[in-house]
Homo-oligomer: A and B are copies of this chain.
Amino acid sequence: MITEMAAKAREASLELARLTAEQKNRILLDMADSLDKNRGRIIAANNTDVGNAVGVIKDSLIDRLKLNESRIDLMIESLRQLAGLKDYVGEIISERTLENGLVLTEKRVPFGVIGIIYESRPNVTADVCGICLKSSSAVILKGGKEAINSNRVLVGLLSRACPVKDAFQLVESSDREITAQMMNLTGHIDLIIPRGGEGLIRFVRENSKIPVIETGTGNCHIYLDEEHDPVKALNIIINAKTQRPSVCNAAEKLLIHKNVGRDFIKKIAGELKERGVEILGCERTQKIIGCSAATEKDWHTEFLDLKIGIKIVDDAEQAIRHINKYGTRHSEAIISNSRENIDKFLNEVDAAAVYSNASTRFTDGYEYGLGTEIGISTQKLHARGPMGLKAMTTTKYIIKGDGQVRE
């Protein structure tokens, strides 16, 4: 079944590759309208999913599953914004004539067929279909079974607005065997992107034979250096931890230089506790603020919650080593007035995004000016950090000759 879907997707991808930017933008606006005119159907299907999920999955997951008018607004807005963004398909990266007269052109081309394996959030369905359409790839969506009714209606409405048959196909079976088969279709699916929790991402990384772009896991750190501006420091720490704790670019750990005053550490802890943040500390931290002990596992964990690990470190060097050991290479920040330590941190911390004196919460395609993103890559291959439309293309060498042969 999945092989047949992949074959249909390949056919669709050839048609998608022939669309002009104008045609694709028109389709995106039609897709937005199709959702806009059928809000009732979307909400009804989503209510069924939410009803089925109550008592079965965690409340926080139900919140991610739920669609309301404002979340539908966002899906629609996202599709309309995509229509206004640059189309990278067909872009000439370089072109030159070699000494032997061959004309060598490197060009951006669509991936072809993309597989997305994701959980809960049905808004991902609309985002992914929009991004794939704009970058001329066909997509096979394998959503979570908890969102099946919402996804079925969304893919139906989006497909209805798209003249290319099979551009968006939803795998309706919830059988894990189907996911395994999907990850085995080398040559039929060109790229797999998992979106979801750490477990899902690990499962895909460990089992896919198709190239994967990992997205999302963010065990992000803030390092508070000895010399710093205390007002800005407090602001950044509170923002990075509490402004939206459930997302991947929220801070999960705070590393503090040993010479930072005890009073200031108490103040930081107090402000965090006031906002409901639970603190887990290293031995030195526990002595200053009286909190539970952080375990080795905690230093590795992305809490995605109002919870933070605090560790006192000897210097920037130790902070960098801790981050490179425990971090997930997502977003890492230093708060410091020392240019030397800032440069050292920005150079030596191995992550997609490194910050000085700013909140880690900025790692986001929209904030970076890329428009909608398909995810935040935490690997080093192909794309790193927020992945916009450019990351959703590949390249091709086109060589035009006049009978040239190799000597």
Contacts and interface: CB of A to CB of B under 8 A. Distances in A.
B102 A347 contact: no
Contact of A405 (B186, B236, B400): B236
Interface string A365-407: 0011100000000011110110000000011111111111110
B190 A400 contact: no
A12 to B, nearest CB: 14
A389 B172 CA distance: 43
B350 A112 contact: yes
A352 to B, nearest CB: 6
A367 B405 CA distance: 12
Number of copies: 2
B382 A382 contact: yes
Contacts of A104: 368-369
A405 B190 contact: no
Contacts of A205: 186, 209
Interface string A300-331: 00000000000000000000000010000000
Contact of A399 (B102, B209, B243, B358): B358
Contact of A406 (B10, B362, B403): B362
A14 interface: yes
A104 B346 CA distance: 12
A303 B209 CA distance: 24
A53 B214 CA distance: 42
Contact residues of A: prevailing secondary structure: mixed
A131 interface: no
A348 interface: yes
A399 B98 contact: no
Given A357-B400, A361-B405, 4 more contacts: A239-B405, A356-B401, A359-B404, A362-B404
A213 interface: yes
Interface in A109-125: 111-112
6 contacts: A190-B380, A211-B212, A352-B397, A357-B404, A358-B401, A362-B406
A73 to B, nearest CB: 19
A289 interface: no
Contacts of A190: 380
A356 B105 CA distance: 12
Interface of A: 10, 14, 17, 96, 98, 102, 104, 111-112, 186, 190-191, 205-206, 209, 211-213, 229, 231-232, 235-236, 238-240, 243, 324, 342, 346-348, 350-359, 361-363, 367-369, 379-382, 384-385, 394-406
B384 A353 contact: no
A283 B381 CA distance: 44
B102 A362 contact: yes
Contacts of A324: 10
A98 B357 contact: no
Nearest to A351: B396
Contact of A239 (B14, B96, B358, B406): B406
Contact of A398 (B111, B354, B404): B354
A353 B235 contact: no
A358 B235 contact: no
Contact of A17 (B111, B347, B353, B395): B347
A174 to B, nearest CB: 25
A117 B10 CA distance: 32
Contacts of A238: 405
Contacts of A369: 96, 98, 104
- 3 cross-chain pairs, A with B, having the tightest CB-CB distances, nearest first: A358-B401, A232-B403, A239-B405
Contacts of A350: 112
Nearest to A104: B368
A357 B396 CA distance: 17
B384 A382 contact: no
A405 B211 contact: no
Nearest to A321: B14
B235 A381 contact: no
